Copies of this chain bind each other. A is one copy, B any other.
């Protein structure tokens, strides 16, 4: 490798995004005596010239990164504009940067793609490789995204533990609603199925954006579950919508869905809306659980496979760039589910940028709110081992 390398992180963190960063740093160190720069706060900080020299970071700190939550370089959601491109190139030249590694989701892949294309069209040699990252698991071209298995493990543990509590407290609270992140897709909410071993155990209903909610059927399903098991544990993806496409998080009143205020930014949440509806319509007492981004940073609940893959993706990005490959994102390919085995591959950035991957039909039940056995097969090996508890009745 010749010249310096630049590394950045974008979008919402995951519990293992810093493992990818460690993989990139260690990969570069093995191949290059060149400098390694980190963007502070992603492309936003880079445009301000805010670079961190990581060249002399002690090996021990790089090791600690593998278990550090958050985006250690700082993150951003700023999107690159055409007007930014000359400034980007100017800074790349200034620091003699020849390798660009960004860890992020589809917006981030778009950023590398545009920077790389701009540099190529203006005669500046730059190798740009993307490392996938998102707890939402909605990137195309990869079996799953680093970050998803660990966030899924957080959801599984929460629903397993919260489900036991809800079962034992059924004389007090008749329902619990657990909300997961995942704005457009239900991958994280669906993962909660791993918590369930018996029909009476949580989760009972899994509500995902891919399956719009019908109020009457939802109420009937809750009542039926309570009649069968004494309580109902519901997992809901934050982006779930009603049949007419209105976000559930937008509903402020029980009977009128006209007073629209969107999502958590407005202080609203799908879980809150459903909680209020169950209270008002069915007269039930229950609780809501909204851990929000805590599922994205739980360093003690990391899936071992996830950490290994996130680190490996970082290293592979460096290997690809070193081979002269550019304009690609590293992908994970599953070769076996039981035992779980994976290999790494790549996909051109233009096939990934600005696309999202919803849960396929075959992973969801045709009607109603649950997942298929095919999805259970997909998710179980990613989450890792789950402890067994005592059951007295």
Residues of A within 8 A of B (CB): 9, 12-13, 18, 38, 40-42, 44-45, 52, 54, 57, 61-62, 64-65, 67-78, 157-158, 161-162, 164-165, 167-172, 176, 264-267, 272, 275-276, 279, 285, 287-294, 296-301, 387-393
Instruction: Judge whether A76 and B171 touch: CB under 8 Å.
Output: yes
**Contact of A18 with B264 at beta-carbon distance under 8 Å, contacts A12-B169, A161-B299, A301-B300 already known:** no
Q: 17 interchain pairs (CB within 8 A)? A: A9-B168, A41-B170, A61-B390, A64-B390, A67-B387, A70-B168, A71-B168, A71-B169, A74-B168, A74-B393, A75-B168, A162-B293, A162-B294, A267-B272, A289-B292, A290-B292, A299-B389
Distance between A304 CB and nearest chain B CB, rounded to angstroms:
14
Determine the chain B residues whose CB is within 8 A of the CB of A41 once the complex forms. 170-171
Distance between A165 CB and nearest chain B CB, rounded to angstroms:
4
Residue of B nearest to A299 (CB): B161
Instruction: Judge whether A75 and B164 touch: CB under 8 Å.
Output: no
- Give the oligomeric copy count: 2
Determine the chain B residues whose CB is within 8 A of the CB of A292 once the complex forms. 287-290
Distance between A350 CB and nearest chain B CB, rounded to angstroms:
26
Instruction: Judge whether B69 and A165 touch: CB under 8 Å.
Output: yes
Determine the chain B residues whose CB is within 8 A of the CB of A45 once the complex forms. 171
Residue of B nearest to A163 (CB): B70
Distance between A15 CB and nearest chain B CB, rounded to angstroms:
8
Determine the chain B residues whose CB is within 8 A of the CB of A52 once the complex forms. 392-393
Determine the chain B residues whose CB is within 8 A of the CB of A161 once the complex forms. 69-70, 294, 297-300
Instruction: Judge whether A76 and B13 touch: CB under 8 Å.
Output: no
Distance between A56 CB and nearest chain B CB, rounded to angstroms:
12
Choice from B172, B387, B388 contacting A76 with Cβ under 8 Å: B172
Determine the chain B residues whose CB is within 8 A of the CB of A279 once the complex forms. 265-267
Separation of A298 and B165 alpha carbons in the complex (Å): 10
Instruction: Judge whether B13 and A78 touch: CB under 8 Å.
Output: no
Separation of A18 and B38 alpha carbons in the complex (Å): 48
Determine the chain B residues whose CB is within 8 A of the CB of A40 once the complex forms. 393
- Add 9 more A-B contacts to A72-B390, A161-B299, A288-B290 (CB < 8 A): A9-B168, A12-B169, A13-B169, A62-B390, A70-B168, A70-B169, A72-B391, A74-B171, A267-B288
